[in-house]
Amino acid sequence: MDNAIELKDVTIERGLFKMGPINLNIPKGYITAIVGPNGSGKTSIFRSILKQTNITSGEINVLNERIDDAENKEISQRIGYLMENQSFFDDGLVAHEKADFHRRWYNNWNEHIYKNCLHKFGISDNIRFKNMSKGMRRKYDFTVALSHEPELLILDEPSSGLDPIAWRSMIEVLNAYMDQGERTILMATHIIDEVKRLADFIVFMVDGKLLGMYEKDELLQNWATYYVEVNPHTQAVIATLPGLLSQKNIGSDRIEFTTSEAVNADALLKDSNITILNRQVLELDEILLYHMNKTTNKIFG
Amino acid sequence: MKLPITINEHSGEPLYLQIESQLRTLILSGVILSGTMLPSIRELASQMKCSVITIKRVYSDLEAEGIIRTKQGTGTYVLELQEGSFVKQKEEALREAIDQFLTTAKQLNADKATLKKLFEEAIDSLN
């Protein structure tokens, strides 16, 4: 698999904030979502990829170009970025004045996409930014971020401030964007449903550290809680289960347990003739919580 | 186009198999007509809340079976099915349905005689 972004042993240290070392490959042609609590370093990763923040050590490659100290205008032409918080310098501008700037700057600016996207969101570019609602501003910035047809789109909490209808439009626009050839999205989000609708790969990030990268369907299929019947050898079988995270007895004849390798557990339980009474896969936030608890346990012994 | 496919994420059956068998049944039963353009891989993945990797597998399996075809740059279409073809696939779809029936039967501890009686009654009510 070709990578759109490669981070090799990247660290960032700024005062009390320490991130890394991060080793991360973002595959080309897919949508990767970074999931983690606030302050875990998602935005810092984005800013370092865009060269808006200097890394302390390590190496970053984006679209097969090394990101280093030299100014590289070429690469910025191929990336679209939606920041988490909108900047305030252009508050006094009328929206289309910002588009004018982008139109001049980006060689690939596509007026058709720009107009279509505005239409889809039902917004006009004849309004001053300071007079826009938060949602309207978000829709506008989103439109501008993808109107130069970037190969790589970096989205920091894209749906913050969007109502459910606008959110649906955003999902549709992003799906259509991905269908135009080999394109890549790297996004940070708190919204579970957004990960489910969009992501192919999930990266967990907590407290400046990566806790793992997974293919979404594999991840969501493999974390499950079971309720099983107790027979003479149930305890022994459960003790050998791969990825066992927790277990407890429910009354005298049932056991509840959670595993991160449900596919293997299914086979083992079947071979051992243990009846599964119930099987529930975990939600993404529950899986994240397990990852977080694992790191805190390491820190506190 | 929204496909009437329902996923049970708790069942333990791999996602691609669930989507594949339902899509196959929709096509073989004529609910989706030949010539119909299916959603793009990305679009269907978004609808099913799964990754494109899963949908790529579904489409390439069904393409290998000769049920659908992907044309570069235009999309994925349902192929014309000959009368009397796909006997094996149709049987496969029925067997899957029977398996589900048997799973429930096992959970309820139903005996063979009851199952037979219910099954025959159900078949008789077909016409």
In a domain, B102, yes or no: yes
Query: Which of the residues B46, B47, B56 would you substitute to probe the A interface, choosing the one with the greatest number of A C-beta atoms within 10 Å?
Result: B46
Query: What domains are defined for chain A?
Result: 3-216 (3.40.50.300), 224-281 (3.30.70)
ipTM: 0.88
Contact A221 B9 (CB under 8 A): yes
* Contact (CB<8Å) B51/A196: no
A220 touches B at CB < 8 Å: yes
Q: For chains A and B, count residue pairs whose Cβ atoms are closer than 8 Å.
A: 46
Of A138, A143, A79, residue with least CA distance to A112: A143
Domain assignment present for residue B67? The answer is: yes
Q: Minimal Cα–Cα distance from A226 to chain B, Å?
A: 10
According to the model, what pLDDT value does residue B83 have?
Answer: 67
Confidence class for position A70, pLDDT limits 50, 70, 90: low
Test A262 with B46 for CB contact under 8 angstroms.
no
- The per-residue DSSP string of A250-271 comes to ETTTEEEEEES-HHHHHHHHHH
CA distance A60 to A48: 8
- Strands A184-188 and A152-156 come out as parallel
Peptide bond into A21 cis (omega under 30): yes
Judging by DSSP bridges, how do beta strands A254-259 and A276-281 pair with one another? unpaired
Q: What is the pLDDT along chain B (127 residues), one digit of tens a residue?
A: 789 999 998 888 899 999 999 999 899 888 999 999 999 999 999 999 999 999 999 999 999 988 999 988 789 999 987 766 677 777 877 888 888 888 888 888 889 999 999 989 988 988 6
Q: Would the pLDDT of A301 be above 60? A: no
- Residue A281 has its nearest CB partner, among B10, B50, B54, at B10
Does the residue B60 lie in any domain? yes
Give the model confidence (pLDDT) of A8-24 as tens digits.
999 999 888 899 899 99
Planar angle of CA A141, A144, A146, nearest 5 degrees: 115
Query: Does residue B110 sit within a domain?
Result: yes
The DSSP-derived string for A162-224 is --HHHHHHHHHHHHHHHTSSS-EEEEE---HHHHHHH-SEEEEEETTEEEEEEEHHHHHHH-E
When CB atoms are compared, the residue of A179, A266, A281 closest to B9 is A281
Q: Which of A171, A178, A279 is the closest to B10 by Cβ?
A: A279
Total-model pTM: 0.89
Interface test with B, best of A28, A30, A217, A227 (most B CBs within 10 A): A217
Tell me: pLDDT of A294 over 90: no
Nearest to B12 among A30, A200, A262 (CB): A262
Q: Is residue B46 part of a domain?
A: yes
Query: Cα–chain-centroid distance for residue B69?
Result: 17
β-sheet bridge partners, residue A57? A11
Are A171 and B46 within 8 A, CB to CB?
Answer: yes
Q: What is the pLDDT of residue A206?
A: 92
A232 or B86: which carries more pLDDT confidence? A232
Query: Does residue B97 lie in a domain region?
Result: yes
Q: 3-state DSSP call for residue A57?
A: strand
In a domain, B90, yes or no: yes
Measured between CA atoms, the residue of chain B closest to residue A278 is B10
Tell me: the pLDDT tens digits for A31-41?
Answer: 999 999 988 99
Question: Which position has the higher pLDDT, A221 or A273?
Answer: A221
> What value does the mean pLDDT of chain A take?
91
Per-window interface: A 239-298 vs B, CB < 8 A? 262-263, 266, 279-281
pLDDT of residue A14: 86
Which residues of B are less than 8 Å from A200 in CB distance?
A: 45, 51-53
Residue among B9, B14, B53 minimizing CB distance to A215:
B53
What total number of domains does chain B contain? 1
A57-62 and A201-206 strand pairing: unpaired
How many angstroms separate the CA atoms of A227 and A230, rounded? 10
Region A86-92: what's the mean pLDDT?
Answer: 80
Which of chain B's residues have a Cβ under 8 Å away from the Cβ of A279? 10-12
Q: Which of A279, A226, A216 is nearest to A248 (CA)?
A: A226
Residue in B10, B12, B52 nearest the CB of A30: B52
Alpha-carbon distance A173 to nearest alpha carbon in chain B (angstroms): 11
Q: What is the 3-state secondary structure (H, E, C) of chain A?
A: CCEEEEEEEEEEEECCEEEEEEEEEEECCCEEEEECCCCCCHHHHHHHHCCCCCCCEEEEEECCEEECCCCCHHHHHCEEEECCCCCCHHHHCEHHHHHHHHHHHCCCCCHHHHHHHHHHHCCCCCCEHHHCCHHHHHHHHHHHHHCCCCCEEEEECCCCCCCHHHHHHHHHHHHHHHCCCCCEEEEECCCHHHHHHHCCEEEEEECCEEEEEEEHHHHHHHCEEEEEECCCCHHHHHHCCCCEEEEEEECCCEEEEEECCHHHHHHHHHHCCCCEEEEEECCHHHHHHHHHHHHHHHHCC
DSSP bridge partners of A28: none
CB of A294 within 8 A of CB of A211? yes
Q: In CATH, what number is assigned to the domain containing residue B59?
A: 1.10.10.10
To the nearest whole angstrom, how far is the Cα of A221 from the nearest Cα of chain B? 7
Chain B partners within 8 Å of A27 (Cβ): none
Q: Do A200 and B52 touch (CB under 8 A)?
A: yes
A82–chain B nearest CA distance, Å: 21
How close, in Å, is residue B48 to chain A by CA atoms? Answer: 8
| pLDDT tens digit sequence for A153-202 | 999 999 988 999 999 999 999 999 999 888 999 999 989 999 999 999 99
Nearby residues of A125 by Cβ (< 8 Å), 6 or more positions away = A94, A95, A96, A99, A118, A140
Does position A86 have pLDDT exceeding 50, yes or no? Answer: yes
What is the structure's pLDDT at B61? 95
CB contact under 8 A, A197 and B46: yes
pLDDT classification of A128: cutoffs 50, 70, 90: very high
Instruction: Compute the average pLDDT of residues A56-75.
Output: 85
Tell me which residue range forms the domain holding B35. 15-124
Check: CB of residue A87 under 8 Å from CB of residue A144. no
For A177, name the nearest residue in chain B, comparing CA atoms only.
Answer: B42
Q: What is the rounded distance in angstroms from the CA atom of residue A104 to the CA atom of residue B53?
A: 38
| Percent of chain A at pLDDT exceeding 70 | 96
Q: How far apart are CA A177 and CA B42, in angstroms?
A: 10
pLDDT interval class at A95 (50, 70, 90): very high
Least confident span in A63-67, A117-121, B25-29, B81-85: B81-85
* Among B residues 24-83, those touching chain A with beta carbons less than 8 Å apart: 40, 42-43, 45-46, 49-54
